[in-house]
Structure formats: structure tokens, C-alpha cells
């Protein structure tokens, strides 16, 4: 089933007019389509706990979003316990979970999520904690210890407790340490792992985690974050199932600590993903996806985007075949946003396994297109400006075909009849028009 689906989706990809097909994707058999679900970072931010995670999982189901394919519940950073020297660790040098936040433990939380018919995601960054090296903890299942495998002359990027030393992968104990961590996660029931702080200097770490996840025998979708350099795009695609192409979509402009709270984002952070998607388009395909960060739709205007901008946000993520991982508070969904998120036609555009190309880029006017496996073309027209209406046009030859086409508005589902040779729409600031064009309507 997976092989035939992947072949069908790849067939859709090769129909696109691109210099070459995407590089070979990770062969771990996962993420044949972009992941869909929810992640704790945007709204919960630095204060995740067991109760909040369960509430969001409950809401994912009760809202009907899970039934539409949003099935991942991903715990991000700040679940750990830290002291003045960094992350506190268990007896084998792995991060210790903060028992005050998660008194039942991570396995119990994963079990709860699984009991809802959902998948559980987890978070880590590269390296080994300073506290593990200071205590010289053993590497599980080996005679090696932390001081054997740590390079204390170099630290890794970490956004929380810092103090993460690099690993000496020339030593076999380094891979064994990562394996032990991956095995622990697998035993807890982790289905998705985000490794944060990845960059050009962490290829060996990403390779180690890829090997470690595979050897667990448990299917664990592997995601990389953030702002991955495009120069190594083929490497990220070979090793992982998704990779963040930019920094955070959050604006950190809320009134709470560290810019938490609403608004979660703003239009400049969302619209900056248009150029990124154009650059990275060729690397996306079944098994590996360009990740444009969390989808900030759910809580109405207070997330920092107007309704038009939120539709454009979702349209662009769908056209780019980005993972659809919600960052909003699912316990306070507005009816307008819920309707957006549950739109079957938009979800289908995201899940078709094809990343769109930009064919018009003129000031605030942008047009993107992709050809699906059945020969239909999906076309998105945008006014990315923040003031003034704009007439945005595209010819069918720019889209990739000639002759008339039957046009359907994918947001409304309404037929727009047969259109001869070009399409145009006058769009409000931040507005989008998303259509399906079926060429040669007389066939």
C-alpha cells in the first residue's frame, strides 16, 4: 500500500516543471504525506504539563479535527528538569523529565494520547548534558561512560538549559548513547521526534539519531528544526521526514513572559514563508517535507492575523505541502477558524504529495501552481500586501496547459464554470483565491 501510494504521489511530482526531481527521501517508510496535528510550543510555550497536554488532545478529538487527519500531539521543549548546570539527567545521562509537570510520566501521557486514537510527539536537541559528564554516567548496555564520549571543548545550540556538550562520534559509545535515548522514547510510545538546534554542524548528530530511531523497531517520524541551511537540503531529505526552512513563525510579541500569549504571530512572519517555499520547493516529496512551522489558525483574530490572512496562511501551507501542525489553543477554537481547518478540499491539496511552484511574483501579487496526479492543476492567487485591493492574474500557459478549463473555487466549493485561457481575481489585502482547474473540459 505504502509503495503504491508513494509511486502515485511521486508521479504527480514529476509532472511539475522543475529542473529535476527531489533528492532521494528518507526510506524509513514514514510521512508519505505531510504530518497533521498539534504542537505545544506556540500557545503553551515554556509551561507544558500533563493537564494541558491532555486537554489539547481531548480538544483535538472533540472538535472533529482528529477525524480530518490532525492526529499528532507533540510535546515540545520545557518538559525537562534543570539546575544551575543545565539539564538534570537520569542514571544513564538522558534528560530527566520534570515530575512536577508530568507526575504520571511521559509513558502515561503517551498512553493517554494513544487511547484517543492519536499519535504522541517528543522533543530533544543534539549532544549530551553537562550534568551527565560531571557525574560520568554510564552508557546503557555498554562499559562506556559519559566522559568517554563527550567533547567538552564544544557545546551545542540549546534553547532551554544550555550546557549541552558535543559527542565524539568516532567513539562507539556515542552512538550507543543516542540509541539508548531513542530506545527509551520508543518504550514510552513516542511516534514523532523533533530534534531542535540542527544546523550544518550537526549532520553527524542527525545521522546518529536517524540510525537510533531505526534500530528501535518502532515507526518514529523524524523532524528537524530550525532554520536548516538549504545548502544541505539533500542531506536533510535523506535523513529526515521534515525540516524547518526558517526560524520561528511566532512573533514573540505577546504581553506575557518572553513574548508569550496573544498574538502568536503576525503577517510578516507568515508572508516571509513565500520566498522560502519558492527556494525549497524542489526538495519536498513523499517521505520528506519542507516545514514552514506551526499553523496559527484556531483562535480568530487574536492570533495576530485577519481572517483573510489566516486563509492565505492555510492556503500557502497546503500548496507547499507543509506539515499542518497547529500551534493554537484547541480548547478555545472559533467557529470560523474551525471551518477553515476542517475544509476537506484544502486538506486534500496539502495531502496530495506535491509542493507548488511560484509562477508570478510581482510586488504584492503572487501566483502558485501545482499539477496533481489526475491531471488537475491547483492554482493559488495572493495579494500579500497589507493595504489596498489588487487584481492578480495568471494565464493557463503560465500554469502549465493550454485551452479551456473547468474552474472550482476550493475554499467555497462553488463552480466558476469554464474559463478560456486566463484567470484573475481582485483580492483584498492578505486575501487569497484558491482554485482547481481541470483542462479540456470537453473530454
**88-118 pLDDT per residue, tens:** 999 999 999 999 999 999 999 999 999 999 9
What pLDDT sits at residue 442?
52
Rounded to an integer, the average pLDDT of 378-404 is: 98
- Model confidence over 174-191: pLDDT tens digits? 999 999 999 999 999 999
Domain count, the chain: 2
Looking at residue 22, the DSSP 8-state letter turns out to be P
Nearest 5 degrees, angle CA 189-CA 190-CA 193? 170
Same domain, 400 and 321: no
Same domain, 323 and 379: no
User: In this structure, are residues 131 and 88 in contact, taking their beta carbons and an 8 Å threshold?
Assistant: yes
Same domain, 244 and 365: no
C-alpha to C-alpha distance for 395 and 424, rounded to whole angstroms: 9
Domain end: 305, 321, 355, which one? Answer: 355
What are the DSSP E strand ranges found in 44-95?
72-74, 82-83, 86-87
Rounded to an integer, the average pLDDT of 276-300 is: 98
What pLDDT sits at residue 441?
61
406 lies in which domain range?
359-439
Between 14 and 409, the higher pLDDT residue? 409
Same domain, 351 and 368: no
Between 442 and 267, the higher pLDDT residue? 267
User: In this structure, are residues 109 and 127 in contact, taking their beta carbons and an 8 Å threshold?
Assistant: no
Structure-block grid coordinates of residue 308: 483573510
CA separation, residue 119 to residues 133, 258, 269, 295 (Å): 33, 29, 28, 18
What pLDDT sits at residue 21?
53
Burial-class residue 3 by CB neighbours within 10 Å (0-12, 13-18, 19+): exposed
* Of 410, 436, 438, nearest in space to 311 by CA: 410
Rounded to an integer, the average pLDDT of 28-42 is: 98
> Please, what is the average pLDDT of the chain?
94
Angle at which helices 106-115 and 50-62 pack, to 10 degrees?
A: 10
- Model confidence over 59-73: pLDDT tens digits? 999 999 999 999 999
Could you tell me the CATH number of the domain that includes residue 365? 2.60.40.1180
User: In this structure, are residues 136 and 208 in contact, taking their beta carbons and an 8 Å threshold?
Assistant: no
Domain end: 297, 331, 355, which one? Answer: 355
Strands 405-409 and 432-439: antiparallel
What pLDDT sits at residue 17?
36
Enter the pTM of the model.
0.93
Give the lowest-confidence range in 2-11, 160-169, 368-377: 2-11
What pLDDT sits at residue 24?
80
Same domain, 335 and 363: no
Rounded to an integer, the average pLDDT of 317-345 is: 98
What pLDDT sits at residue 206?
98
- How far does Cα 410 stand from its chain's mean position? 23
Q: Give backbone dihedrals phi and psi of 39, rounded to 5 degrees, phi first.
A: -130, 145
What pLDDT sits at residue 25?
85
C-alpha to C-alpha distance for 436 and 425, rounded to whole angstroms: 14
Amino acid at each position: 500500500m505504502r509503495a503504491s501510494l508513494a509511486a502515485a504521489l511521486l508521479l504527480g511530482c514529476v509532472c511539475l516543471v522543475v529542473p529535476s526531481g527531489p533528492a532521494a527521501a528518507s526510506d524509513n517508510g514514514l510521512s508519505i504525506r505531510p504530518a497533521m496535528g498539534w504542537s505545544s510550543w506556540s500557545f503553551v510555550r515554556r509551561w507544558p504539563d500533563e493537564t494541558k497536554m491532555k486537554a489539547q488532545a481531548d480538544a483535538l478529538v472533540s472538535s472533529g479535527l482528529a477525524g480530518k487527519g490532525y492526529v499528532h500531539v507533540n510535546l515540545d521543549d520545557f518538559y525537562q528538569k534543570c539546575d544551575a548546570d543545565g539539564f538534570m539527567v537520569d542514571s544513564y545521562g538522558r534528560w530527566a523529565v520534570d515530575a512536577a509537570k508530568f507526575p504520571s510520566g511521559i509513558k502515561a501521557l503517551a498512553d493517554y494520547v494513544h487511547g484517543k486514537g492519536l499519535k504522541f510527539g517528543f522533543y530533544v536537541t543534539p549532544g549530551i548534558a553537562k550534568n551527565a559528564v560531571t557525574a560520568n554516567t554510564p552508557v546503557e548496555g555498554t562499559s562506556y561512560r559519559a566522559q568517554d564520549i563527550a567533547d567538552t571543548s564544544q557545546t551545542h545550540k540549546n534553547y532551554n538549559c544550555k550546557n549541552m556538550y558535543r559527542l565524539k562520534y568516532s567513539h562507539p559509545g556515542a552512538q550507543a548513547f543516542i540509541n539508548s535515548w531513542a530506545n527509551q522514547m520508543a518504550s514510552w510510545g513516542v511516534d514523532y521526534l523533533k530534534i531542535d538546534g540542527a544546523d550544518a554542524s550537526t549532520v553527524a548528530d542527525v545521522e546518529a539519531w536517524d540510525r537510533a530511531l531505526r534500530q528501535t523497531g518502532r515507526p518514529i517520524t523524524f523532524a528537524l528544526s530550525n532554520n536548516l541551511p538549504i545548502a544541505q537540503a539533500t542531506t536533510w531529505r535523506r535523513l529526515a521526514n521534515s525540516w524547518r526552512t526558517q526560524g520561528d513563525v511566532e512573533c514573540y510579541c505577546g504581553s506575557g513572559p518572553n513574548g508569550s500569549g496573544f498574538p502568536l504571530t503576525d503577517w510578516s512572519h507568515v508572508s516571509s514563508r513565500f520566498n522560502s517555499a519558492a527556494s525549497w520547493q524542489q526538495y519536498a516529496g513523499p517521505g520528506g517535507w519542507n516545514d514552514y512551522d506551526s499553523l496559527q489558525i484556531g483562535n480568530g483574530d487574536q492570533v495576530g492575523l485577519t481572517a483573510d490572512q489566516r486563509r492565505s496562511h492555510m492556503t500557502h501551507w497546503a500548496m507547499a505541502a507543509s506539515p499542518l501542525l497547529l500551534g493554537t489553543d484547541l480548547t478555545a477554537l472559533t467557529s470560523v477558524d474551525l471551518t477553515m481547518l476542517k475544509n476537506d478540499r484544502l486538506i486534500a491539496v496539502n495531502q496530495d504529495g506535491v509542493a507548488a511552484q511560484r509562477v508570478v511574483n510581482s510586488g504584492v501579487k503572487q501566483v502558485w501552481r501545482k499539477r496533481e496526479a489526475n491531471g488537475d492543476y491547483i492554482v493559488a492567487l495572493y495579494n500579500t500586501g497589507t493595504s489596498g485591493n489588487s487584481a492578480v492574474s495568471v494565464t493557463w500557459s503560465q500554469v502549465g496547459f493550454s485551452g479551456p478549463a473547468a474552474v472550482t473555487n476550493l475554499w467555497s466549493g462553488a463552480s466558476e464554470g469554464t474559463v478560456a485561457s486566463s484567470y484573475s481575481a481582485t483580492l483584498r489585502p492578505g486575501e487569497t483565491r484558491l482554485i482547481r482547474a481541470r483542462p479540456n473540459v470537453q473530454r
